[in-house]
Amino acid sequence: MMRQYHAIKRENPDSILLYRMGDFYETFGDDAKIVAKELDIALTARDKNSENPIPLAGVPYHALDNYLSKLIKKGHRVAICEQLEDPKSAKGLVKRGVTRIVSQGTVVEGSMLSNSNNFLASVNETDDGLGLSIMDISTGEFSTAQFRDRESLESEMARYSPAEVIIPDGNENIANWMMALGMNTTPRKAESWMYPVSKKILEERFGNVEELKTYPMAITAAGAILSYATDTQFSELPHLRPPSLMVKTNTMTLDAVTLRNLEIVRTISDSSKDTLFAVINRTSTAGGSRRLKDWLLRPLHNLERIDERHDAVQELFDNTLSRREIRDILKGFQDVERLLSRLGHGSISPRDLDSLRSSLDTLKDLKQFLSEEPLKSKLMKRLIKSIDPHKQVSQKLAEALVEDPPLVLRDGGIFKKGYSQELDDLRARASSGREWVTALESEEKKKTGIPKLKVGYNRVFGYYLEVPKAYAKKVPESYHRKQT
């Protein structure tokens, strides 16, 4: 078992390896010492009586999010190693493998995130210029840009406050620059930043990236961040949107000094309290909060668009009853961007699926209400037209899920009776085990024509079919011989 552990650890030398063993995630050696100290848990030892006992520390699997959050907040990178097969059916050592690598910029767990974006960034610099790419794995946002000088890149990056910045491995100039800016950096292998490699990565994932073809540094930054994200998440991240150019001509550029002096999202003393955003943020949804912050960081300078936004705000301000009703409806809308992210990861819970269903119903209610209101502003009319409640998806989820699904998959009881005949049959068999065994025995007797066939059980084989030697020739090929 320790040989397996060390082999997996060698592949993840820069991460704390949480190694799943039954109901616990175990750590060994130096990892165990770090985990015990950071989490304030007991440090024990494996093979205590040997000459070289191995330091050991573990956490229960059902409390992973809590402990993982503490490690990530303290700046650690964590590789989660799962059992890849059922230990009960495994022949010999259970297969294990890393299924996710979690760092400050790759967190997707709802319990570890605020309503704000959790941005991951990548920065590249060559004689051709500079590239910056921004991604939020938890929401699917993805943008990139090319700059001529560091000051411009710093100003753009200041709007995002990334939790982690990917940089080319071995590039001391970029490393020192990012360190001076107080950024948490992660080096990424040099080939990830090569233009042909990055372009191929983007095209294989998104198809033609025509919008970026004249921005080679933007392409290298985008390719590097995408390869890092997919490698750490062990997923193609289907919820990611194609990379867009982040420098838009219809918004004003506010440099880092201006953002700080105006105290839009951070005060001069580097606090998020008492900022412009904190004072006016009364949004009803997580997505609305993120959008408002984005609007403040990127103010419009196109007069027509400014007028449209003002007209919509004025219309809602003047119509108090409608505004209150809209807010009440939106309170039932969950953070769908992050729900879809977890769906893309394959980590969505039954309760998350129910939240997605209820949110789609909320969209339907919102569209119906807005359609019946005498709203005349151009922006509100476009908004009403753009709302798609995805009725088929909502209906499918409503047909499948019980009224109050469990928080985690392992608790079962997720699907309604009648949704799947096969599932109903399995449930019936599970609740009436003896009757099922008797029925199976009778069914196999009829299928094989072996009247003395029996279902037996022991701890070695579990349940098995027993056939007298006299009927050996009648045994179907689909049966597997265990013992003679």
DSSP, collapsed to helix, strand or coil, labels residue 423 as: helix
Mean pLDDT of 316-333: 94
pLDDT band at 206 (very low <50, low <70, confident <90, very high): very high
In terms of phi and psi (left: phi > 0; alpha: psi -120 to 50; beta: otherwise), the region of 14 is alpha
Give the Cα-Cα-Cα angle 133, 339, 80 (nearest 5 degrees).
70
CA 394 to CA 358: how far, in whole Å?
Answer: 8
Mean pLDDT of 440-460: 90
- Is the Cα dihedral 326, 329, 332, 335 positive or negative? negative
- The confidence score (pLDDT) of residue 484 equals 65
- The confidence score (pLDDT) of residue 454 equals 93
If you average pLDDT over every residue of the chain, what do you get?
A: 91
- The confidence score (pLDDT) of residue 89 equals 77
Distances (CA, A) of 361 to 125, 398, 447, 456: 47, 10, 49, 51
pLDDT band at 76 (very low <50, low <70, confident <90, very high): very high
- The confidence score (pLDDT) of residue 411 equals 82
Query: Could you tell me if 240 and 139 are in contact, meaning their C-beta atoms sit under 8 angstroms apart?
Result: no
Give residue-wise pLDDT tens across range 1-42. 889 999 999 999 999 999 999 899 999 999 999 999 999 999
pLDDT-wise least confident of 143-157, 354-368, 390-404, 451-465: 451-465
- Nearest C-alpha neighbor of 293 from the set 282, 285, 281, 309: 281
Provide CB contacts within 8 A for 354, sequence distance 6+: 397, 401, 404, 405
- The confidence score (pLDDT) of residue 190 equals 87
- 185 pLDDT above the threshold of 90: yes
Query: Could you tell me if 209 and 243 are in contact, meaning their C-beta atoms sit under 8 angstroms apart?
Result: yes
- The confidence score (pLDDT) of residue 402 equals 93
- The confidence score (pLDDT) of residue 410 equals 79
Global pTM value: 0.80
pLDDT-wise least confident of 158-162, 186-190, 430-434: 430-434
Query: Could you tell me if 134 and 143 are in contact, meaning their C-beta atoms sit under 8 angstroms apart?
Result: yes
pLDDT band at 160 (very low <50, low <70, confident <90, very high): very high
- The confidence score (pLDDT) of residue 480 equals 87
pLDDT band at 428 (very low <50, low <70, confident <90, very high): confident
DSSP, collapsed to helix, strand or coil, labels residue 187 as: strand
pLDDT band at 433 (very low <50, low <70, confident <90, very high): confident
pLDDT band at 457 (very low <50, low <70, confident <90, very high): confident
Query: Could you tell me if 222 and 212 are in contact, meaning their C-beta atoms sit under 8 angstroms apart?
Result: yes
Query: Could you tell me if 348 and 359 are in contact, meaning their C-beta atoms sit under 8 angstroms apart?
Result: no
Query: Could you tell me if 255 and 155 are in contact, meaning their C-beta atoms sit under 8 angstroms apart?
Result: yes
- Nearest C-alpha neighbor of 427 from the set 404, 460, 402, 448: 402
Instruction: Look up residue 94 and give its DSSP letter.
Output: P
Mean pLDDT of 239-261: 86
Strand partners, 126: 129
Query: Could you tell me if 167 and 123 are in contact, meaning their C-beta atoms sit under 8 angstroms apart?
Result: yes
CA 158 to CA 311: how far, in whole Å?
Answer: 30
pLDDT band at 104 (very low <50, low <70, confident <90, very high): very high
- The confidence score (pLDDT) of residue 13 equals 92
What is the Cβ-side half-sphere exposure of residue 415, based on CA atoms within 13 angstroms? 12
- 218 pLDDT above the threshold of 90: yes
Mean pLDDT of 248-277: 88
Provide CB contacts within 8 A for 19, sequence distance 6+: 5, 8, 25, 26, 27, 28, 81, 96
SS (HEC) of 9-56: HHHCCCCEEEEEECCEEEEEHHHHHHHHHHHCCCCEEECCCCCCCEEE
Give residue-wise pLDDT tens across range 297-309. 999 999 999 999 9
Contacts 24+ apart (CB under 8 A), 341-345: 341/108, 341/137, 341/138, 341/139, 341/140, 341/239, 342/108, 342/110, 343/239, 344/140, 344/235, 344/237, 344/238, 344/239, 344/240, 345/108, 345/233, 345/235, 345/237
Domains parsed from the chain with CATH numbers: 2-102 (3.40.1170.10), 115-245 (3.30.420.110), 249-301 (no CATH), 316-419 (1.10.1420.10), 432-474 (1.10.1420.10)
